[in-house]
Amino acid sequence: MFELGRELKRLFGVDPAFGSGEGLTGGDGALLELLDVGLLLKEGQTADIAASRPGAKDKSERRIEAAFVWREAARRTGDVVHLRKAAATAEAAAAGLDAARRPEAWARARCEQALCALAGAELFGDLGLNAAAEVAFREARGHARGGASAAQADIGLAVIAAREAMMKATPEEAHALSDRFSAPIAALEALSRRSAAARGLAADARLARADLLCSFGARLKDDTLLKRAIDDAAAATARLNPDYEPLSWARSEMMRGHALTLWGGVVGDIEAVARAAAVLADALEQLPRDHSPLDWVRAQLALAETLQVLGEACGDARAFEQAVTCYDRANLVLKDIPAMPLRGIAASARAVCLARSAEVTGDLAVLDVAEAAMKIELASQQARRDPVAWAVSQLHLARLYEARLELTDRDNGERAAAVLALEAAFEVFADEGLRSLSVMASDALARLRIDARPERRTV
């Protein structure tokens, strides 16, 4: 282990922005990408020791380094314990600093706290953490003297503003929100000429913007927003070396593939979707599961979505079967993280995929499997904690009932069950102001409430 650490430092050097000299990376966050999860956790333990050792020089700096490692561990594993450890360590770092005497270091610590809150909101669906992150980012921005901390704070505030506007923004507003990222990204890319860590931060910023652009573009069916997402992901990839920055490179390619899929679906370019499948397959080839389980899961889900789009375009049952295989692979990791909303999203998407497969093949047994899995997932969800996710699952369950009606031409209670699920979902969507989802539920209700065709009979 220690021989590996010395070799890493000899080959790549230690970023001057870090530099505790401890562990495999010597405190250089840019080298964490070369470590798998097991080594990353050992690096976190070493960073904790360095920060707590009696007589350690600048304990707050060491704590910031440790918080960064633990946040990366949470990002790769989805383990809430790692994220709590990162947040607590960053808080201790800020508490040990005088903001007036060392404003830049204090700003770094507050930024790390804010980034932990942002990660918590994304990973575990606790949207209240966005408000906590906003407070911390504003305080950090007020003390930062330029440099990476100021840019990170600006990017964090832009992410929060975009998240808040996600379901209501017009295309013009979405473009304006994405433009807020431009100046801090440029600042980080300028810093990256002398700091490998800044290069990683710049890539993360581009991917954060691309992710938001994908969400805006998918909701609004706006190809220009999706094209900007493709360009952002491609720009991030072009600035990264897959040999030295394998994880950032894989994340960039995953985002590019995802954006290509959405863009191809909106404009009807099936060749773009096929290219997206190739991009995602290549990213998976470079991303071992034990290096970053959660990134591996996201790549599997992105590939599954792409295969579904190809299946819809070609009417090919094999594409749906391959997509289900990707969902099942993702579940190998997600089944051990029950509190993560991504698990519910994946389960719902798998159910829809099975429904389409059943419709293409006429195989009712596939629908039986999908319905059972969807009911199990709904039973594990808490409507009060995440009402939107619960309502989306109800929407997908109704879709399964509707598919059975169409396939069998018989109603054994599926119509009433679907209407009940859709009414519950519509109520939630309306309360939350989610217009597009409300329209989907309303349209499905209208279809189901039409009087049964004469040839349909209830048994």
The Cα–Cα gap between 250 and 451 comes to 51
Task: Tell me, yes or no, whether 314 lies in a domain.
Answer: no
Q: Is there a domain that residue 435 lies in?
A: yes
- 379 exposure class (CB count in 10 Å sphere: 0-12, 13-18, 19+): exposed
Considering the domain boundaries, does residue 368 fall inside one? yes
Classify residue 84: in a domain, yes or no: no
Rounded-to-integer distance, Cα 114 and Cα 106, Å = 12
Facing residues of 410 across strands?
457
Of the candidates 206, 212, 262, 190, the one whose C-alpha atom is nearest the C-alpha of residue 238 is 206
Q: Is the pLDDT of residue 13 over 60?
A: no
Phi-psi map region of 146: left, alpha, beta (phi>0 left; psi -120 to 50 alpha)? left
pLDDT at 310: 94
Backbone angles phi, psi at 239, to 5 degrees: -95, 5
405, part of any domain: yes
Cα(257)–Cα(301) distance, integer angstroms: 11
**How many domains are contained in the chain?**
1
Predicted confidence (pLDDT) at residue 456 exceeds the cutoff of 60: no
Q: What mean pLDDT comes out for the span 147-166?
A: 96
Examine residue 429 and state whether it is found in any structural domain, yes or no. yes
Q: What is the pLDDT of residue 26?
A: 65
Residue type, 76: R
**Helices 317-334 and 293-314 sit at what angle, rounded to 10 degrees?**
160
Say if CB 410 and CB 368 are below 8 A apart.
no
Query: C-alpha 130: how far from its chain's center?
Result: 15
Q: What sign has the CA pseudo-torsion 284, 298, 261, 248?
A: negative
pLDDT band at 24 (very low <50, low <70, confident <90, very high): low
Q: Are the beta carbons of 205 and 189 closer than 8 angstroms?
A: no
The answer to whether position 445 is within a domain reads: yes
Range of the domain at 397: 361-459
State how far the Cα of 273 lies from the Cα of 364, in Å rounded to an integer.
Answer: 29
Residue 133's contacts (CB-CB under 8 Å, 6 or more residues apart) are 114, 115, 117, 118, 121, 156, 160
The answer to whether position 292 is within a domain reads no
Tokens 């706290």 correspond to: 113
The H-or-E segment that residue 458 falls in is strand 457-458
Which whole number is the average pLDDT over 429-449?
81
CATH number at residue 410: 1.25.40
Give 327-361 pLDDT, tens digit per residue.
Answer: 999 999 988 886 788 887 888 788 888 888 888 88
pTM for the complete prediction? 0.83
Segment 446-450 mean pLDDT: 83
Shortest CA distance to 263 belongs to which of 253, 276, 254, 248? 276
For residues 435-451, average pLDDT: 79
Q: Residue 410 and residue 403: Cα distance in Å, rounded?
A: 11
pLDDT at 136 over 70: yes
| pLDDT tens for each residue of 189-204 | 999 888 878 888 999 9
Of 344, 346, 330, 240, whose CA–CA distance to 294 is shortest?
A: 330
